[in-house]
Structure 1
Amino acid sequence: MARDYRQVADRIAADIAAGRLRPGDRLPAQRAFARRHGIANSTAIRVYGELVRRGLAVGEVGRGTFVRAAPPSPGHALAEEPAAPDGPAVNLELNYPVVAGQSELMARSLAGLLRPDVLEAATRPAAADGTPAAREAAGSLLARGGWRPDPARVLFAGNGRQAIAAAVASFVRPGGRLGVDALTYPLVKAVAERLGVTLVAIAADGDGLCPDALGAAHRGAPLGAVYVQPTLHNPTAVTMSEERRERLAEVCARSGIGVVEDTTWAFLAPDAPAPLAAHAPARTVLVDSLSKRLAPGLTTGFLVAPGAHRDPLADALRSGAWTAGRFNLEAATRWITDGTVAAVAAAKRRDTAARHRLVRSRLAGFRVRTDPRAYFCWWELPAPWRTDTFVAAAAARGVALTPGRAFAVPPLAAPDAVRIGLASPPYEVLSSALETLARVAREGPPGGA
């Protein structure tokens, strides 16, 4: 009998692998399944248990058994041998925070959206300014530090990356110049290249991008805009003080420089000062998204536009085909208004604190720049390590890292540093990975070079 139930489970597994059963499909009730396959009900129970054990199905109390969207994470163990040919076992380049229970919360929110009449409306096209309900919800989501955006100024993109691209395109013409931190988000480097925009590295200190350096760069040759992450800057995790934000806003206003303010990670620091958009509302496009707050596959981006800049920004969204889908807007509105986003964000703030305890323990004694609220840290490697050599050595031990050169903007030389993404692996895997990295760092490079 044991072989019989496994053989039936094998056939169902083959149907899942071939796509005949798709993620989310509900399997028949166990009695109906038993009749269909000519087996006893007790055997059907064992078949379903085997499918769950294999990670191919999930049982939901009171609802039934469903084909799982993806196998659960196996919780990779770190090996002493070199990684397998398909790459390192632990990828600390990726940085997608997901906490337990968030999918259940999100699923409950969507139940009403799946009614036929509601779904019909939710699958119609949406304009760049979305719907009144979506604008109100976004306004409440983006409010912080005593500042709350006017919902009439909110626009929507398909995702945060598209929001950044639209904001840059609306401020800077092809061939123009965009100021950025000398260490900046790699996506902005890719966006600038595609738009034909030249990046200008602006010096930063322990309080973020330096306003005087920005003004000097603009006087040398005009900047169309500056891209900044004032709260939990990626990769250094620096959060600008209130005074630095005020000074930066003054320089931009006096010089006529537009501001693209990225607040994607700011939800992790609710006590941070008000955004630059509060200090320079006539010059700042604030961009944000749901991907870090909820899950990486959720692709609603938000933009808060200055009044005079709203129409050009909406044009940039339309011409780039960067507007959000109506279904995404409806889902986002429900997640925001029913408290799902707030609950998941609070859980992620607790999660970062736990992960930083691992960082402090495993990387004690090394030069690690971070903030206990951030999902990443910037590790300045000890001599005589060089970045590429260290990244290769870490990969050979099964850990993937982002090298410092990915963030460096010329003429800044690529620093001997790496960014460590803390969000994606389970705690045990992250702990082992950090221990491995510390061991590699202490052993030193091959040959001491």
Structure 2
Amino acid sequence: MRRDEFRRVADEVAAEIGSGALRPGERLPTQRAFARARGIANSTAIRVYGELTRRGLVVGEVGRGTFVRATAPHAGGAALTERAAAAASGPPDPGTVNLELNYPVTPGQSELMSKGLAPLLRPDVLLDATRTAAPAGTPRAREAAADVLARAGWRPEPERLLFAGNGRQAIAAALSSLCGPGGRAGVEELTYPLVKSIAERIGVRLVPVAVDEQGMVPEALAEAHRSAPLSAVYVQPTLQNPLSVTAREGRRAQLAAVIREYGIVAVEDATWGFLVPDGPGTADGPGAADGPGAAGVPAPLAPLAAYAPERTVLVDSLSKRLAPGLTVGMLAAPAELVDVLTDGLRSGAWTAPAFNLEAAVRWVRDGTVAAVTEAKRADAAARQRILRERLGVDAAGRVRAGGRVRTDPGAYYCWWDLPSRWRAEPFVAAAAARGVAVTPGAAFAAGGHLAPDAVRIGLASPPMEALGEALEVLAEVAEVAAG
């Protein structure tokens, strides 16, 4: 193959983008699938995607996919196209503020974490910490994880805890073990994008289930199962990503009733639940009262696993609480599923490194996890205040430039239903031209669900000042279209 073959293929893809055959916001195939479709080597496909990224035609995130980013015309009328072009023609920023990624890090976090790691560097300790670990970890790791996962009135039984390398691997192990190739799993119609990638890789079909202001609708889940049986349902009851909604006590009880009635196993993702103070859970457990808590924060609630413990696999991790690069994924499983999940973790090579397990134990025991958690709750609340101020969001969620924001006062992300004259893809492209990256609604749409004209804004990663400036840019871009 000629040395410039990758450029030729990149030119072909660029032409497809320019012609509109590939639309802005559209997800490209995996590099392996692209290579098969084009009859080229995997290494060439990697270079093609790199060249498209260099040209600014696509944007990608590890684990989520690669999406078309060019400002192709959209069937929305000449006025919209002109306004999108005007918004995109503003002076570009020298660097991009990435509001797609969402990795919170707070001041002093590294210093706290380093203290817990220091004892592991002793030669006698390091030798044991670098051995392989079983999916069940160690008794110390299980007790520490049970403390982390405990939610007022509910604490998982340590002997039913398993460990993965991170939260994504925990989800992959759960879905592959419960569904298998060709199986069906229900998901919120707007869901965590990586679940889509995981399902594609393991051959699981995702079935979108309707959501409302409390997340997944129980009646819609039952209807989806009656249409064709579901092996599992992936659900985020607390601070659902991307909508930030939280299911109240009654909704959790209803979901538990449905999964019991139809024999479905729930994979409950609690990754962002740590942002809810004291929970999600209260001392009263599943009987906690409905209704908002202080300062608009939802009253803490026990997880779905407390309502249907025999039908729920709860997955969580330390990625968001501490750091994505040195983390542990956790699975709290019903007794009858421990063995099958253990096999799934082993067969997928998803078990946690022993070093990470030992580090996690020390961070839990020395108070690092608790201290960083409190700091991140305060940090998220501060970023929400910046969001409301710079984007101009009123108490009802209405945005000054148009549209509506859905979020929670304690969340690290928000969902912006764009002004009616904007389509999501041109908006993302116009924002990118001004140096701000946001995620189009299509990235979250599951199983053929109609992609909404909305974007998710991640608030966690940039410094506060950069976040404020980026939000002002988004407001300006929206104003151009609204004008």
User: Does the aligned pair in 2 maintain the 1:83–1:395 contact within 8 Å?
Assistant: no
2:134 aligns with 127
1:153 aligns with 160
Q: Distance in 2 between matches of 1:214 and 1:237?
A: 20
Q: Distance in 2 between matches of 1:123 and 1:358?
A: 43
Q: Does 2:272 match 1:265?
A: yes
Q: Does 2:452 match 1:420?
A: no
Query: Which residues of structure 1 form unaligned runs of 5+?
Result: 1-78
Q: Distance in 2 between matches of 1:354 and 1:82?
A: 27
Counterpart selection for 1:81 from 85, 91, 94: 91
2:250 aligns with 243
Counterpart selection for 2:382 from 332, 342, 354: 354
1:326 aligns with 354
Q: Does 2:216 match 1:204?
A: no
Following superposition, the deviation at residue 400 of structure 1 comes to 0.2
Q: Distance in 1 between matches of 2:426 and 2:248?
A: 36
Q: Distance in 1 between matches of 2:327 and 2:357?
A: 10
1:139 aligns with 146
Following superposition, the deviation at residue 80 of structure 1 comes to 5.1
Q: Is the partner of 1:261 in helix, strand or coil?
A: strand
Q: Deviations over 1:233-259 (max 9, x none)?
A: 000000100110011001001100010
2:182 aligns with 175
Letter in 1 for 2:106: V
Q: Distance in 1 between matches of 2:186 and 2:420?
A: 31
TM-score (norm 1): 0.80
Following superposition, the deviation at residue 410 of structure 1 comes to 3.4
Q: Distance in 2 between matches of 1:80 and 1:112?
A: 52
2:112 aligns with 105
Which stretches of structure 1, 4 residues or more, deviate above 6 A after TM superposition?
Answer: none
User: Does the aligned pair in 2 maintain the 1:128–1:318 contact within 8 Å?
Assistant: yes
Q: Is the partner of 2:309 in helix, strand or coil?
A: coil
The alignment's C-alpha RMSD in Å is 1.3
2:79 aligns with none
* Higher gyration radius (CA): 1
Letter in 1 for 2:348: G
Could you tell me the percent identity over the aligned residues?
66
Letter in 2 for 1:285: V
Query: Which residues of structure 2 form unaligned runs of 5+?
Result: 1-88, 280-299, 393-397
Q: How many residues align?
A: 365
Query: Residues 12-51 of structure 1 correspond to what in structure 2 (within 5 A)?
Result: none
Q: Distance in 1 between matches of 2:365 and 2:202?
A: 35
Q: Is the partner of 1:237 in helix, strand or coil?
A: coil
Q: Distance in 2 between matches of 1:393 and 1:210?
A: 34
Letter in 1 for 2:369: V
Q: Does 2:194 match 1:187?
A: yes
User: Does the aligned pair in 2 maintain the 1:156–1:301 contact within 8 Å?
Assistant: yes
2:332 aligns with 304
Letter in 1 for 2:199: A
1:231 aligns with 238
2:414 aligns with 377
Q: Deviations over 1:145-191 (max 9, x none)?
A: 31100000110001110000001011102111000000000000001
1:20 aligns with none
User: Does the aligned pair in 1 maintain the 2:327–2:360 contact within 8 Å?
Assistant: no
TM-score (norm 2): 0.74
Q: Does 2:310 match 1:282?
A: yes
